[in-house]
Structure 1
Amino acid sequence: MTGDTIADELRGGWPPPGIELARTPFPERRANQEATLDRWARSWATRLPRWPGKDKEIAARLNSEIASLNRWSDDALRAVAHAAAGPAFRHGDAANVAATSTALAATCVAAHRVLGWTPHPPQRDAAVCLLRGRLVELDTGEGKTLAAALAACVSAMAGVPTHVVTVNDYLAERDARAMQPLFDYFGLGVGLVHAGVPQAQRPSAYSQPITYCTNKELVFDYLRDRMSVREARSPAQLAMQPYWRSSASGNLVRLRGLHFAIVDEADSVLIDEGRTPMVIASAMDPAANDSIYRDLLDLAAGMRHGEEFRHRTATREIQLTDIGRERLHDHAHEAVQSASDEVKPVWALPWARERIMSQALRALHLLHRDRHYIVREGRVVIVDESTGRLLPDRSWEQGLHQLVETKEGLTPSGTNNTLARITSQRFFTRYLRLAGMSGTLREVAPELRTSYGLQTERVAPNRPCRRRTLPPQLWPDCASRNAAVVREIRLRLAAGQAVLVGTASIASSRTLSQALETAEIAHRVLDALNDANEAELVARAGRRGAVTVCTDMAGRGTDIALEPAVVESGGLHVVLTEWHESKRIDRQLLGRCARQGDPGSCRSITSLEDEQVGMHAPREAAWVRRIWPIGPSPQPVVGWLRRITQHRAQRAAERQRSLTVKQDQQLLALLAFTGVAE
């Protein structure tokens, strides 16, 4: 952002109060540790009813504005859009109604001219909410891509660098290419940043008025920038930095600050991925004595659960008992005698050996192959639990990755030295204005309000939903569950529907695939081991006779087009085979059917052996199994067990996210002594 633009923004009320441009290398919201009482008060303040008068007035004006602007020439339309965009964006909730309606109407007319799409009322309402810095719950298939593009056009024409953030490389590239004609119409350049974009090309991408990017690459680029400008405390120092620090000139500047972000799939980015901090680390030389990992695993394998250690599967916490610490102390006393100089501190320091032993126990008991990671080409590759996708460039911290490698019989890689880290909450709250969209936000609206200070608005669909939710089935074991899934698929294929089956892990996909092969049902499997053509496979799921098995939300964001014969036969049928930690995530999968007024149906077919049930409701599941050992459980029992399981799972996930933020704040407090904590 140029100096003239910043001056204009300040005169118009942008950036908002609390931003000290002169004290930061680039514009962003000042990081501060909010007191618990202040956070509680802010949370309750955002719950107060909001007066919808301006939104309704804008919606009422849009139709007449669009009809009027349709008669204008292209040059006149561009001119009025650029003139109205500044007042529409700068003033936030106090935006001039006429300017906002004019700017959005111009972008709607342009979308029809260059894309052939006419934004329907829910998309327009969503764009208004995004410009105001809110979260929007817009049903799956309602056109969030276009809604985000409308808001991004207005903000970019107002001179505000805009980041459109999404969850994977495919969606970022697809949306940027699809919306580029609209941005070109207004003379707005578009940048693209994802894992496949070289570092050398990223400064150019971030210099564009609008940048489509994945959340993880965006956060890591921010951390790289912060590391590069660590000595620079102001824009003036940043400008002089290349003269005293030659290495910095090749690394700066990518982001130009954190001005405005529109987060697609906001619940996934802001909530699901909030449990794990983003870390940049430098690889260190492999340990001189790799046998320490095998020694630790052998010792961990002999420890007795409940007596020498306890673990909570839900939060992956390991705690040694006094007996376990005593056994570890005795083993360390012997091991330190023969240990090398590099390894001796691990055994000699009580806190170090207890930490690494906890990691060894975690590697053995809490991380499972084909669920949390896979082994590919002699490497351990982490599987993203939120999306089911591979993370080939990520590794676990504090020796955990090396312990998992040793457990799998691989040569352990070198350990990593953490250089920078940040949580999703601390990063995204630094944006001067933040907005987002998703089809499933209502369940996490209170947490989003407390953690990010964002209100959630529900936008009704353009057409009434025609989804039929069939009664759920709960079976005593996985074998009977899979048999029921096979019967369900046969029934739906006979009726002429297409079928999409959601599983929770690679192992579950394999087991179900074998059951389908035995039943001689042709199908396709989409998981982390077969994700090369993810979007193509999911797009084909709407063909007559198609059976697609996918893990979690593979292909999320990809439209499933239905063949006419499938529409006439009842549309796409979705089968949920395992409850997730939140009903919200279940709704993400079930929402893949009956989009945009199409017909569709769904059913959950689960078992008492599912992971979430075993972690969060084992006693209740045992009681149900005793009463109904054969066949599906009664409907009231299914609903009761599901509510208990997901309530406890969601509470555990919230505690883990809160703990991550607390640890991040504690680390900031420690780093404050160095003068580099931000």
Structure 2
Amino acid sequence: GKGAGQSIAARRFIANVNRHTKPLAALDQEALHDQVLELRRDLRGQGLKDPLVAKSFAVIREIAGRALGTRHYDTQLLGGWLLLRGMVAEMPTGEGKTLTATLACGTAAMAGLPVHVLSVNDYLTARDAQWMGPIYEGLGLSLGVVLHETANEDRHEAYAMDITYCTSKEIVFDFLRDRIVLGRRRHSLRHQVEPIYGNSGCHRRLLLRGLHFAIVDEADSVLIDEARTPLIISGAGGGKYERHFLEQALEVATRLKDGSDYTTVQAEHRIKLTPDGEERIKELSEYLGPLWSGRIRRAEVVSQALSAQHLFNRDEHYLLRDGKVEIIDPLTGRVAEGRSWERGLHQLIELKEGCEPSQQNSTLARISYQSFFQRYLHLSGMTGTASEVSGELWRVYGLAVATVPPNRPCVRKSLRPQVYTDAEKKWQAISERIRELEAQGRAVLVATASVAASEQAGEVFREAGIDFRVLNAKQDQEEAEIIAMAGQRGQITVATSMAGRGTDIGLEESVRKSGGLHVILSEHFDAARVDRQLAGRCARQGDPGSFETILSLEDKLFTTSGAKLIAKTAAVFGPEQGRGYLLALMALRWEQKRRERKSYRDRLATQKYDRQQGDLLSISGTSE
């Protein structure tokens, strides 16, 4: 079938690359440079034909070996080939996706295509661009980097380079900024002829020069997880709530009773007012002023106030830093720079925390990830965890998933999960486990689900006399230093999902001989893929390592809807073993699946809204 044919084609391609290896290794630097110039000329003239691509991969591998001391493995050649064919390469964690991307990037850029390499955060973007820079320099290609703090004039220059490394959010926002600049003239003849007259008009104010060729690192995180919510650019002057009105809403909310006036739908993370609650709000707001006269407005603002008070917690959903509320991205564990909640929620949380409320904004432009990435002429990606969402990647983006075997067999040991009745017993068990591993000369990574949980772990370890370092959204400036130390003998690192995707923990030789890095997952995440990513921090590229989960029935995933009932039954039997243990694991899997289904429905709703907006705009004559 197709798979077998592709496998034969892949083996033939890799053999073709390897045939070029010896002749290239014999060349001096000047002769290799001549080969690059000849290759660029051929690729621009003939396109991405397999014989030329094979030669290109061989040249890039030779340059990588000379510039970085690291040559691409055959499995990475396969990954690069899949990227050029517009697929998602599923490569096990630690298999060198960053180096793999240079094969497809360098080849496409030499063929004259503007290339975007998109990652999940600024740390990985800056690290990968700096690390791979010497390869592109050797190919005579220019490299641009766009981070959150990059100024507008520098962005224009960065996107004009042959290859641009950027976070997915930044490029989507820059696309929206260009939309605002173009306004209604997106298809006007005047706009199309402007470049003929040089730098006049709005053309020179555009940041991007089109969406041609993109490689998405951690493709499932960007294309699936991030796609739940659209990206919106706002401007001042929208429906502005008065501070006094919001303070009144918080006051009214404190006088409502859970159960009779409102219900908390934990599974959907929302507050639902009851008819009695709506009547109670009407009574309480009777003399509060004209803003309270509308039934829909008062119900919405009080619902938001209740959400601010009961659903959004400091150090879980947001940080309080320098007198400002900063949102924590639940997927990456990092601060979501410049983002705010809408419909007054952000301002209500600011007031709850005693901060000066920021001004509400109105929407200037919005787009979903699905709609944005479908615009690329060539899209591909790589990740360690794509198989679970392969169907959605194909349906939405037309991306097929192909699995790349590891270069060396993985020797990771996965230990039996442990489940305890309460958090105190769980942390006691984790502390005891750390002491055992310390005595063996191992390094340990303890993964937690939130900033608050990482700080709770820190308190437990301090009391137990365990030395450790914490990596969460509050320590984002020290990230590189903490990661560099995490593989040292006896080093204990407590981290949120910040230490998940893309994090490469190098091992000290004595740690490698003692059994490598041991990862302890102290709480499961909403998606099993995130759990797998954290497990992938250990036992990379044939290194030793081990992974285990140590949980309690008080963990977040055991405390909502149906899982709560199963967990209660598990507690009766005792979750440590036997029937209670099996019930606890069943509750966990059930809740993870339920949350994954909800996320999928959210993504469908976002995509549907985008389509509806497009239809409405086309009726009004303002579509793209």
Structure 2 CA distance for aligned equivalents of residues 49 and 629 of structure 1 = 44
Question: Structure 2 vs 1, CA of residues 466 and 417 (structure 1 numbering), >3 Å: closer, same or farther?
Answer: same
Please tell me whether the aligned partners of residues 535 and 555 of structure 1 are also in contact (alpha carbons under 8 angstroms). Answer: no
Please tell me whether the aligned partners of residues 351 and 357 of structure 2 are also in contact (alpha carbons under 8 angstroms). Answer: yes
Structure 1 CA distance for aligned equivalents of residues 15 and 593 of structure 2 = 41
Residue type of the partner of 1:471? Answer: R
Structure 2 CA distance for aligned equivalents of residues 107 and 554 of structure 1 = 30
How far did residue 287 of structure 1 move? 5.0
Residue 365 of structure 1 corresponds to 310
Residue 206 of structure 2 corresponds to 253
Q: Which residue among 156, 163, 171 is the counterpart of 2:124?
A: 171
Q: Which residue among 620, 638, 641 is the counterpart of 2:587?
A: 641
Task: Please give the TM-score of this superposition, normalised by the length of structure 2.
Answer: 0.93
Mapping 1:394-473, distance limit 5 Å: 394-473=339-418
2:13 counterpart of 1:55:
no
How far did residue 605 of structure 1 move? 0.4
- Is there any run of 5+ residues in structure 2 with no aligned partner, and where? none
Q: Which residue among 243, 250, 267 is the counterpart of 1:290?
A: 243
- Secondary structure of the corresponding residue to residue 531 of structure 1: helix
Question: Structure 2 vs 1, CA of residues 638 and 463 (structure 1 numbering), >3 Å: closer, same or farther?
Answer: farther
Residue 29 of structure 1 corresponds to none
- Secondary structure of the corresponding residue to residue 310 of structure 1: strand
Residue 3 of structure 1 corresponds to none
Please tell me whether the aligned partners of residues 468 and 602 of structure 1 are also in contact (alpha carbons under 8 angstroms). Answer: yes
- Secondary structure of the corresponding residue to residue 324 of structure 1: helix
Question: Structure 2 vs 1, CA of residues 674 and 277 (structure 1 numbering), >3 Å: closer, same or farther?
Answer: same
2:144 counterpart of 1:144:
no
Residue 450 of structure 2 corresponds to 505
Residue 521 of structure 1 corresponds to 466
Question: Structure 2 vs 1, CA of residues 555 and 649 (structure 1 numbering), >3 Å: closer, same or farther?
Answer: closer
Structure 1 CA distance for aligned equivalents of residues 201 and 82 of structure 2 = 39
Mapping 1:4-403, distance limit 5 Å: 51-52=5-6, 53-72=8-27, 73-86=31-44, 90=48, 96-234=49-187, 236-238=189-191, 249=202, 252-284=205-237, 289-331=242-284, 333-335=286-288, 338-339=289-290, 344=291, 347-403=292-348
2:438 counterpart of 1:493:
yes
2:427 counterpart of 1:482:
yes
Structure 2 CA distance for aligned equivalents of residues 88 and 510 of structure 1 = 57
Mapping 1:501-650, distance limit 5 Å: 501-554=446-499, 556-615=501-560, 617-628=563-574, 636-650=582-596
- Is there any run of 5+ residues in structure 1 with no aligned partner, and where? 1-46, 91-95
Residue type of the partner of 1:405? Answer: E
Moved more, 70-79 or 192-201: 70-79
Task: Please give the TM-score of this superposition, normalised by the length of structure 1.
Answer: 0.86
Residue 621 of structure 2 corresponds to 675
Question: Structure 2 vs 1, CA of residues 251 and 516 (structure 1 numbering), >3 Å: closer, same or farther?
Answer: farther
How far did residue 230 of structure 1 move? 2.1
Structure 2 CA distance for aligned equivalents of residues 270 and 308 of structure 1 = 39
Question: Structure 2 vs 1, CA of residues 581 and 287 (structure 1 numbering), >3 Å: closer, same or farther?
Answer: closer
Deviations 1:492-521 (A, max 9, x none): 111111100000111111111111011101
How far did residue 653 of structure 1 move? 1.4
- Secondary structure of the corresponding residue to residue 256 of structure 1: coil
Please tell me whether the aligned partners of residues 534 and 555 of structure 1 are also in contact (alpha carbons under 8 angstroms). Answer: no
- Secondary structure of the corresponding residue to residue 357 of structure 2: coil
How far did residue 602 of structure 1 move? 0.9
Structure 1 CA distance for aligned equivalents of residues 195 and 358 of structure 2 = 35
Moved more, 227-236 or 616-625: 227-236
- Secondary structure of the corresponding residue to residue 119 of structure 1: coil
Residue type of the partner of 2:34? Answer: A
Residue type of the partner of 2:597? Answer: R
Please tell me whether the aligned partners of residues 503 and 537 of structure 2 are also in contact (alpha carbons under 8 angstroms). Answer: no
Structure 2 CA distance for aligned equivalents of residues 84 and 613 of structure 1 = 59
Deviations 1:599-618 (A, max 9, x none): 00111001111112212511
Q: What's the RMSD between the two structures over aligned residues?
A: 2.5
- Secondary structure of the corresponding residue to residue 267 of structure 2: coil
Structure 2 CA distance for aligned equivalents of residues 590 and 48 of structure 1 = 32
- Secondary structure of the corresponding residue to residue 438 of structure 2: helix
Structure 2 CA distance for aligned equivalents of residues 128 and 243 of structure 1 = 38
Residue type of the partner of 1:506? Answer: V
Residue 660 of structure 1 corresponds to 606
How many residues align? The count is: 618
Deviations 1:194-216 (A, max 9, x none): 11211111111000110000111
